Chain A
Amino acid sequence: MSKPSTDIASSNELLKSSTDAVEIAQKAGAQDAWASLSRDRSVSYTYRDGKIEKVEESTSRGLGISLYVDGRYSSHSTTDLRPDRLAAFIREAVALTRALQPDPHRKIPDPALFQGRPTVDLERKDPGLADLTPQKREAWCADMDAAAHADKRVISAESGLFSGESQGASASSNGFSGTWEGGYVGYNCTATVREGEDKRPEGSASAVGRFLAGLPEPSKIAEKALKRTIDRLGSKKGPTIRATMVVDPEAAISLISRALGPGSAAAIQQGRSFWAGKLGQPLLGDKLTITDEPLIPRGLASRHFDGEGIAAKRMPVLERGVVKNLYVDTYYGRKLGMAPTTGSASNRVVALGDKNLEQLLAQAGSGIYVTSWLGGNSDSTTGDFSLGLRGHLIENGKIGAPVGEMNVTGNLPALYKSLIAVGNDPYPYSSLRAPTLVFENVQFSGA
């Protein structure tokens, strides 16, 4: 691609532009300002039933700026980076901020929190991604497509290959400056089979990482998608029972996310969190230990600093179900009188148990093995939840017939009190590395 005039090439140029934006805001009357610029490039191939279906390619950029004006606060973003337009945009944003109301809790993040920024190489970008030619992408898609069509009952299969890279920089009026870059690559596959007159069950699999090394062969992902699809054949509505629930690692990611979601100063201060008043207290049973780990090389959410410039460090969140730390940002920290930790999660690592899925199923004997969720929600204030699911019966300690059209319903703290085992098999392609989870005496609704 030719290089347009407003294109910004390097992290240092982005940093310079961020600093310029902060200066424009200060000249316009802002006491403080925080600006970030980023640039992303992404390519995605979608392949279906023997040929390319869609190729999408883009380069994107944008500026975000937070303004602190006479005790008032606002934040703004734009993708129109032509210098004259950008300057006008910032000046108008400062004027808009003046029309708001003063908020005594709003202050730019404390520069003391910027200190001690780690320098460890996070290996966020795979130089090998530059070698991903269109021919290679198409060939890998074709490999997946062939593997996904290995069963003649397959009606259609979609295979995708995507990758991207980004660069960014932030600068603030109180001395913060930082840059970052990163990349990712991944693929996914969904196969659909015919079952009887009308039904067309489907199954999917995917993998994503910072580096190509460490990802499985694309065709392995397609094989997994096909197996999951075939496994759905003959699925029936499961029973209404109280039983043991074994949750697959990929499904466990969202079940853990739901439980951790309200663990922030923002949610607690707003009265929308069942974590309120629980710092230092047992909350989620006694089997779950979770640590926020921002410095894992090649981690999908690894970082040297967070969005407020706070230097990244390891943070225990739960130890055997006891709340050790909350996600506290500057604003809600001030409202609650708490020191900021970080307002946003990085990689979340679950302490592992010593058994694999086979052993855990054998131990469970009977129950429901959940492979994926369908819809459902939870109330962050009370922890009440109800989720649709698909999976299998557990019969004689082994995976049995496929079931669907079922819900599991309860309360998250109560559910985690019934967590009896954690597997040794974390899902690697996510920033939340969840293993198999086993809960006892769970309420299912079905036929």
Chain B
Amino acid sequence: MHSLSTRRTFVRGTATGAALLGASSLGLLGGCRRTSAPGTTMIPGDPATTSLSDHLGFFSIDEPTLTRVMAELTSRGADAADLYFQHSRDNSITMEDGIISRASSSVDQGVGLRVVVGDQTGYAFTEDLSLAAMIAAARTAASIAHGSKVVSPVGYKHGKTADFYTLKQPWSEIGVAQKLPRIEQLNTLARAGDPAIEKVTVSWADGEEVVLIADMHGRIHTDVRPMTRLWCMVTAKKNGVTQANSANLAGRQGFEWYTDERLAFVAKEAVNRTMILFEAKRPPAGELPVVLAAGASGILLHEAIGHGMEADFNRKGTSIYADMIGKKVAPDFVTIVDDATQPGERGALNVDDEGNQTEKTVLVDHGVMASYLHDSISARHYGHKGTGSGRRESFRHAPLPRMRSTYMENGPHTREEIIASVKKGIIAETFTNGQVQIGAGDFTFYIKNGWLIEDGKITAPIKDINIIGSGPEALRNVTMVGNDTKLDFGGWTCGKDGQSVPVSQGMPTTLVSKMTVGGENV
């Protein structure tokens, strides 16, 4: 089983074809305050203005060290080999019962060393960046190969990367004293939201991650990746019944992103999502038309098609979409993309974790299956230029093809038209998690808040229902697509093969004519 949690689990996952998406894993990339930088080096800024030696200096390494380690890594041959240096600093603060009840900080650094021969991978990592430790790890990773030595790079070239999330002020310069008033403000706003509110928990996370990727051809790419998240959890009590719910804001953003307006918005969302639960019921069980509200409903795309389009599953023949490129899978007005270039999104990436250029990849172009999401191994396998989708949770993991920001482009209909077309069905608004079986194509997502639609009108609130469907069937059954596409403001974390990465998702208002709704006939 795959897990949503950020814990490194004791028992490894088994089902490779299952992948999970969850909103509930709090603070995967938490926050960072400057607690323990290695040396005195500040976080390197824009690669255009920072020299390569500064970047290397951040990890207390230099070019001769890289060359020495790379030589060891490729000493038994390699089709590809890379070093992934990472330094992460995260910080979190929690306010509970009106008190800052805890704060935490963490520093995590190390290097992952990879050798690829064909589709075989040798991988090792070390948190110790001494030459001796890196050489030892390189030997371990190299043991997958049985060939002869590859010529090591004689020089290094610092590649250019995009710029989708440079902050005005890095998180390392923002102190606790600046954050506390914002946390208290959100707490006050949420408490004032309704007299029935008994508890408010506010959880703040911020952090920065510096990466340096060096490959056997002497290419070096660097990136500084900020991440922040602010959660507001609310518990209310009415007539002896207790209900709880939450809302959060998340992105590769800085301190200034948390404006008064955004805090008021997330407080109101958390309160509204909680208070409506007192009136919410279960819809009838069985097959129903399902309207997906604009925004977070992109969870459908993530599960029903996104994972199945990750090229590793297709290369191995285990995805239901393995033979479908070029085939018509949805109506003409359906275009689905996976996009690394949405500024400030959790799924934004200046360069992927293999040092490849990122892009906006079209998965389904006007109803036709267009492209898989590739890492370097699958790009070589398919002779594809690549899509910059090679991602990893940290230096502890080898990269895999992963999603970034997955969404559907606008269609020809309006939200009003779509709702008016439904005789009896539901509209789904907020979600907690989803999962898919890549080969069988079965996917699910869990609706926390939604509404019944009766005779073309939104009527009663609904809650806590799982939706299950078949990916290809759901795509075929998309009958209307609205013109109001947007990305969800809350944060999502995608789990695959035991690795969690931050992603975004979005959707215009969309009608799927039939899915199985987990309701109750009461």
Contact = CB atoms under 8 A, between A and B. Distances in A.
A256 to B, nearest CB: 14
Interface string A50-89: 0111111111111000000000111111111100010011
Interface in B419-470: 432-435, 437-446, 463-470
Given A155-B318, A188-B12, A61 B35 contact: no
B105 A446 contact: no
A202 B14 contact: no
Contacts of B320: 198-200
B123 interface: yes
B477 to A, nearest CB: 13
B106 interface: yes
Interface in B130-149: 130, 132-133, 135-137, 139-141, 143-144
With a 10 A CB-CB cut-off, give which of B11, B102, B439 has the most chain A CB atoms: B439
Interface of B: 1, 10-18, 20, 33-36, 38, 93, 96-97, 99-110, 119-128, 130, 132-133, 135-137, 139-141, 143-144, 175-177, 180, 198-199, 201, 233, 235, 237, 241-244, 277, 282, 285-287, 316-324, 396, 398, 432-435, 437-446, 463-470, 472, 516-521
Interface residues of A, number: 106
Nearest to A155: B317
Given A4-B126, A386-B446, A445-B517, A375 B468 contact: yes
B202 to A, nearest CB: 13
A375 B516 contact: no
B100 A100 contact: yes
A103 B95 CA distance: 11
A386 B464 contact: yes
Contact of A409 (B322, B433, B466): B466
Given A375-B466, A377-B466, A101 B109 contact: no
Given A101-B99, A200-B439, A2 B470 contact: no
Contact of A200 (B130, B132, B277, B318): B318
A44 B398 CA distance: 12
A376 B439 contact: no
A219 B35 CA distance: 49
Given A53-B120, A377-B433, A73 B101 contact: yes
Contacts of A80: 36, 38, 107, 109, 127
Contacts of A27: none
A24 B137 CA distance: 31
A81 B133 CA distance: 14
Contacts of A101: 99-100, 180
B127 to A, nearest CB: 4
Contacts of A390: 442
A93 B35 contact: yes
B130 A4 contact: yes
With a 10 A CB-CB cut-off, give which of B125, B463, B516 has the most chain A CB atoms: B516
A186 B176 CA distance: 44
Given A200-B318, A201-B437, 15 more contacts: A1-B136, A4-B128, A5-B128, A7-B133, A59-B126, A72-B100, A77-B104, A89-B35, A105-B101, A270-B199, A378-B464, A380-B244, A381-B243, A390-B442, A407-B467
Given A74-B104, A201-B440, A190 B244 contact: no
A409 B132 contact: no
Contacts of A350: none
A80 B434 CA distance: 35
Given A100-B103, A272-B235, A388 B122 contact: no
A52 B120 contact: yes
Contact of A443 (B99, B133, B140, B520): B520
Contacts of A61: 127
A44 B499 CA distance: 15
A271 B237 contact: yes
Contact of B396 (A60, A232, A386): A60
A419 interface: no
A162 interface: yes
A130 B233 CA distance: 47
A162 B316 CA distance: 21
Contact of B198 (A56, A240, A271, A447): A271
Contacts of B100: 72, 100-101, 103
Interface in A29-64: 44, 48-49, 51-62
